Amino acid sequence: MKTQKAATARVEITPPTGTPIAGNVRKDNKSRGVHDPLYCNILILDDDTTRVCMLGFDLIWLEEKVYMQLTQEIERETGIPVSNIIAWGTHTHSGPDTGLRMYGEPSDSVGKYLDNMIQAVTGGVKRANMSLQKVVLKVGKKEVAGLNFNRRLVKKDGSVVMNFEEFDTEDITGTTGPVDKELLTFSVWDKSDNLVAVLVNFTLHPAILVGYDWLISRDFINYLDEYILDRYDRRVVVLFANGAEGNINHLNYQDPDQGRNFEEAERIGKKLGEHVEESLKDSSLLDGRIRFVSEKVTFPLREITGDEKQWAEMVLERDKDLEEDQLDGIPDKTYARMIQEMSARKEKVCETVLQGMAVNNFALVTFPGEVYVEFGLKVKELSPYPYTMVIGLANSHIGYIPAKEAFSQGGYEVRTAWTSQLTVNAGDILVNLVNSRILAALLKQSVRVMERKASDNKYLHKDFHVSMNMLLTYIYDNFGRDALISYLVQFAGEYHKPLNEQLRAGNRDALVSYLKDKYEKEEWPVEISVSETEVEVSQQSCPAISHIVDKGEEPCPYYRETYNTVYKTICEGTPYEYVLEYFDESTGACRQVFRKREDKR
């Protein structure tokens, strides 16, 4: 099995009370306290060739500026290249407001929080990086029904309403798209088969709580985590990574009594925990190298239309005295403010990074924002890896990436804002980039093909000298010197029969050609002088002995017989006799003479 190593760490990143809470636009969004602490869960993987660092943050997401600052700091402190660091937000809507652009520049408290967080997480990675241990990797998956829902509902008149908005259940005919029911686990086990870490991938907005009671929380992830720690070991590090959750949340429109409180977060988290446990039990081994790909890519930005600019001006005037205050979604005034900010920018594209990792039949790919589930499912369908994780909200946040159809249907995710800034075909661009640049590159590493014709190469496998030496040694050790010589006589008698016949017929040139050809193929310097009565061969060393010694082996006793016996056998019954005039046992330097026998008649 390929050696795999891993290290883990868990760094608390709970913000101080009073820090604004992300994921909602309320007038007063300052946190009042902590329901459960937030973490950055760290997993470092290494296979002696590639080192990858995964960072799962209990945050709404990481802005590009923060991602760059963090990864550069980690690279400086640990040597793990920026390109090999995958950082994502779990997307809890009850964490600090790190979605900077959505609400303007960060407040002082968020800015200070981010600086401290970067230092703390870098320290955690640095410590983990020094404690890599040998591990076994496994992958598993389960289908999860009834926990995640497509949040875009279709009304009888064909219009679309979000499942967190007002609607009459009787008026709903279904949803605009599918859900991804797959839950995947990538787990790390120590040599004694104890769970060390698990990366859980499931597609679901952690927006059950949305700053419930103004308390900081990981949302349902807290309960999922607790479930696993209770079942296995409190030291296990659980990394939750969301999927393509752009249009997926927990709200079942057919259940009007569904709560949005800690009880509901607990119900969902524990249920997911049970599925994780089952997936871990059915996991299969991952053996092989870690393949990793990282690509910088760009996405075209949506142009702000004249109508949008006019609308923004109108709203800002109309709502100038209104506070921006809304739990789900975004108020008009906030949209209008963002449209004005966006129309002032000069950039036509936004830059981000896509990453992919594969081990054996498992792969993960990253999505840089909140992507509609349709695109996540498409990537899974295109992937040659049976276990493919799509990790959303990774590395930076470039906003929602909705399906094209959604733009004519309307709804929260398509309205132009910092959270929805890309062209309508961004989803197709993303799938194409992931498929052609990430999955294709991983596949190229995972599946290697070599095809050759005999004529493509020269026939020269020097290691055959080592094998030959082992054959000679075996015969000598087991049957003795005489047997060794008998074997060489047998070989030379059989193999060199045609040459022997040529020599018997007096064809000395056949011998000379044979010798020249042999040394030429060996690419070995030799002096061959030919006279009327003699063919003399002198060499400074033997190619066979040189290779055997180079490989740390010892030539077989009587190795000289591969000259002496073999050539004497070739000369048997011919007008030539063979004399090994000199032979250095350690180097094989020698002088050999094929001499015409004196005519005794």
Partner 1 sequence: MISCTEFIPAYSEGFKFIDKKKGRREVERFWRYLSDLYVKDRLGRLVAEEGLEGCFTYWSQALNEEAADFRMVFNGIKGEFRSEMRRCPSKGMLNSLKYMEPYRFYCDHCPALYGPVLQKYGFKYEKDMSKVDKASCSGVIKAG
Least spacing, CB of residue 534 vs partner 1, in Å:
19
Nearer to partner 1, 139 or 280 (CB): 139
Report the residue from 115, 168, 463, 581 that binds partner 1 according to the rule CB under 8 A.
463
Nearer to partner 1, 113 or 186 (CB): 186
Report the residue from 381, 494, 532, 599 that binds partner 1 according to the rule CB under 8 A.
494
Least spacing, CB of residue 496 vs partner 1, in Å:
9
Contact predicate 325/25, CB 8 Å: yes
Provide the sign of the torsion angle of the four alpha carbons 436, 438, 441, 442, taken in this order: negative
Return the range that interacts with partner 1 (CB under 8 A); candidates 20-28, 200-208, 326-334, 491-499.
Answer: 491-499
Q: Is 3 in the site for partner 1 (CB under 8 A)?
A: yes
Which residues lie below 8 Å from residue 100, measured CB to CB, with a gap of 6+? 63, 65, 66, 106, 110
Q: What is residue 329's DSSP assignment?
A: S
Nearer to partner 1, 104 or 479 (CB): 479
With CB under 8 A as the rule, give the number of residues binding partner 1. 65
> Long-range pairs for 423-428 at CB < 8 Å and ≥24 separation?
423/299, 423/300, 423/301, 423/302, 424/302, 426/299, 426/300, 426/401, 427/371, 427/372, 427/374, 427/375, 427/401, 427/402, 427/403, 428/404
Kind and range of the H or E element at 357?
strand 349-359
- Bridge pairing between strands 182-189 and 172-175: unpaired
Residues 428-447 that bind partner 1 (CB under 8 A): 443, 445-447
Q: Is 130 in the site for partner 1 (CB under 8 A)?
A: no
Half-sphere exposure of 86 (CA within 13 A, CB side): 30
Least spacing, CB of residue 560 vs partner 1, in Å:
10
Listed in sequence order, the DSSP H helices in 390-439 are 404-409, 426-433
What is the x/- site pattern for partner 1, positions 529-548, by CB under 8 A?
-------------xxx--x-
Q: Is 388 in the site for partner 1 (CB under 8 A)?
A: no
Report the residue from 79, 158, 449, 598 that binds partner 1 according to the rule CB under 8 A.
449
Q: Is 2 in the site for partner 1 (CB under 8 A)?
A: yes
Which residues lie below 8 Å from residue 464, measured CB to CB, with a gap of 6+? none
Report the residue from 116, 467, 529, 586 that binds partner 1 according to the rule CB under 8 A.
467
Return the range that interacts with partner 1 (CB under 8 A); candidates 57-65, 161-169, 330-338, 451-459.
Answer: 451-459
CA 488 to chain centroid, in Å, comes to: 54
Q: Is 460 in the site for partner 1 (CB under 8 A)?
A: yes
Q: Is 381 in the site for partner 1 (CB under 8 A)?
A: no
Least spacing, CB of residue 279 vs partner 1, in Å:
20
Nearer to partner 1, 462 or 591 (CB): 462
Rounded Cα–Cα distance for residues 581 and 534 (Å): 13
CB atoms within 10 A of CB 589: 15
Least spacing, CB of residue 537 vs partner 1, in Å:
10
Return the range that interacts with partner 1 (CB under 8 A); candidates 107-115, 155-163, 325-333, 478-486.
Answer: 478-486
Q: Is 562 in the site for partner 1 (CB under 8 A)?
A: yes
Amino acid in the structure at residue 425: N
Report the residue from 314, 322, 349, 470 that binds partner 1 according to the rule CB under 8 A.
470
Q: Is 468 in the site for partner 1 (CB under 8 A)?
A: yes
Least spacing, CB of residue 160 vs partner 1, in Å:
39
Q: Is 111 in the site for partner 1 (CB under 8 A)?
A: no
Q: Is 289 in the site for partner 1 (CB under 8 A)?
A: yes
Q: What phi and psi values does residue 504 have, to the nearest 5 degrees? A: -60, -35
- Bridge pairing between strands 172-175 and 152-155: antiparallel
Nearer to partner 1, 327 or 382 (CB): 382
Nearer to partner 1, 235 or 582 (CB): 582
Q: Is 503 in the site for partner 1 (CB under 8 A)?
A: no
Contact predicate 84/74, CB 8 Å: no
Report the residue from 130, 454, 599, 600 that binds partner 1 according to the rule CB under 8 A.
454
Residues 329-368 that bind partner 1 (CB under 8 A): 358, 360-361
Contact predicate 227/270, CB 8 Å: yes
Q: Is 518 in the site for partner 1 (CB under 8 A)?
A: yes
Q: Give me 197's structure tokens.
A: 């870490």
Residues 44-83 that bind partner 1 (CB under 8 A): 48
Q: Is 516 in the site for partner 1 (CB under 8 A)?
A: no
CB atoms within 10 A of CB 521: 12
SS3 per residue for 272-302: HHHHHHHHHHCCEEECCCCEEEEEEEEEEEC
Rounded Cα–Cα distance for residues 471 and 135 (Å): 40
- Bridge pairing between strands 133-143 and 182-189: antiparallel
Q: Is 582 in the site for partner 1 (CB under 8 A)?
A: no
Rounded Cα–Cα distance for residues 47 and 289 (Å): 6
Residues of this chain that bind partner 1 (CB under 8 A) = 1-3, 48, 285, 287-289, 291, 358, 360-361, 384-386, 443, 445-468, 470-471, 474-475, 479, 483, 486-487, 490-491, 494-495, 497-498, 518, 521-522, 542-544, 547, 562-563, 566, 588
